């Protein structure tokens, strides 16, 4: 049986949908507080038999940091898609990030080894890839440098080290490194806010850009890599490199809203992150902007996707199509 961790997230929900089109049953972990209605909503976007497919999921209440709960989750499991993670760029969340992303992944790897799991596919991030000013195009081989990286990147990199440790102990695994993942259903978090904020009249846009990819491309890549005779490799999952301005403009056109016109300059962001720190100091509110986030916006990293294209003849969906599809679903919800 297949196990999906983090089944209630953007990638996890879309992955479950794709798997259930061919699998009789799939097991997925969720936390006790998770909203299963969000997964059902994602299913309803694409299929008429959403309830029927959803009923084929065996949900296991488990926390990847809680070993006893994982024992039940791994019963009769032969393949694992590890999507569960905490996403935060708040330096004050470092301990929690390390507990969930690094130690949680170590637990998943250990259970894979002890249960003779055939293969693990780990959904990581481009945040863990090296950056080298001398070679502006980032590949899977670019050397990692932990200087000036945010806490999320540090803990996801530590998680990858646990996966590589597992491969040294006999586990077959692949790592997928997605860029910014665009997809519907989670409008109040992550990249979903690009769409909801444009819908609400966003005027400012951040400088630079990143690598972007549609959620179904991430899912398709994970499934194809799981089924391929490829192990102990990492693959960049980026369809296109683009500026944030370009992406936000495309969204604005797709939902018939004004394009953002004012760029947030680095000096403005430097002031904002210091003000944000002061607010946190006096109110203990979580940080919304950190020094490392601002540093990451000073230049745009470019990502090469040749390796996955060659490995499994993978064809990416262009960003225009991804954005139009996602935007149309947002508009449907607003009717």
Q: Where are the domains of the chain?
A: 2-183+210-239
E strands, the chain, are: 2-5, 26-30, 57-61, 79-82, 119-123, 137-138, 173-178, 180-182, 204-205, 209-214, 233-237, 240-243, 262-263, 302-303
Q: What is the pLDDT of residue 135?
A: 67
Q: What superfamily does domain 2-183+210-239 belong to in CATH?
A: NAD(P)-binding Rossmann-like Domain (3.40.50.720)
CA distance 263 to 268: 10
Q: What is the pLDDT of residue 127?
A: 93
Chain centroid, CA 209 distance in Å = 17
Flag residues of the chain having pLDDT under 70.
132-135, 335
Q: What is the pLDDT of residue 281?
A: 75
CA distance 221 to 312: 9
26-30 and 57-61 strand pairing: parallel
Chain centroid, CA 332 distance in Å = 24
Q: What is the pLDDT of residue 134?
A: 67
CA distance 309 to 314: 5
């Amino acid at each position: 049986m297949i196990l999906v961790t983090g089944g209630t997230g953007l990638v996890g929900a879309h992955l479950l949908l794709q798997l259930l089109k061919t699998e009789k049953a799939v097991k997925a972990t969720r936390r006790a507080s998770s909203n299963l209605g969000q997964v059902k909503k994602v299913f309803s976007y694409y299929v008429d038999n959403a309830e029927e497919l959803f009923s084929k999921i065996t949900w296991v209440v488990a926390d990847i940091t809680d070993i006893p709960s994982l024992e039940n989750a791994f019963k009769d499991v032969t393949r694992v898609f590890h999507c569960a993670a905490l996403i935060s760029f708040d330096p004050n969340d470092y301990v929690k990030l390390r507990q969930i992303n690094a130690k949680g992944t170590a637990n998943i790897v250990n259970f894979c080894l002890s249960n003779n799991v055939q293969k693990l596919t780990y959904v990581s991030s481009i945040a863990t890839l090296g950056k080298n000013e001398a070679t502006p195009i980032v590949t899977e081989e670019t050397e990692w440098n932990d200087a000036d990286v945010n806490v999320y990147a540090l803990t996801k990199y530590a998680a990858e080290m646990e996966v590589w440790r597992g491969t040294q102990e006999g586990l077959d695994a692949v790592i997928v490194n997605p860029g910014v993942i665009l997809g519907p259903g989670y409008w109040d978090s992550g990249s979903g806010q690009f769409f909801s904020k444009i819908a609400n009249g966003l005027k400012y846009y951040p400088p630079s850009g990143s690598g972007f990819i549609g959620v179904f491309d991430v899912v398709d890549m994970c499934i194809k890599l799981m089924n391929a005779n490829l192990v102990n490799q990492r693959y960049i999952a980026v369809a296109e490199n683009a500026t944030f301005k370009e992406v936000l403009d495309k969204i604005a056109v797709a939902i018939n809203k004004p394009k953002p016109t004012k760029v947030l300059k680095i000096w403005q962001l430097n002031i904002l992150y210091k003000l944000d720190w002061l607010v946190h100091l006096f109110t203990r509110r979580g940080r919304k902007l950190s020094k490392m986030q601002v540093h990451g916006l000073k230049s745009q990293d470019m990502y090469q996707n040749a390796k996955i294209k060659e490995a499994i003849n993978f064809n990416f969906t262009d960003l225009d199509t991804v954005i139009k599809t996602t935007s149309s679903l947002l508009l449907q919800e607003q009717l």
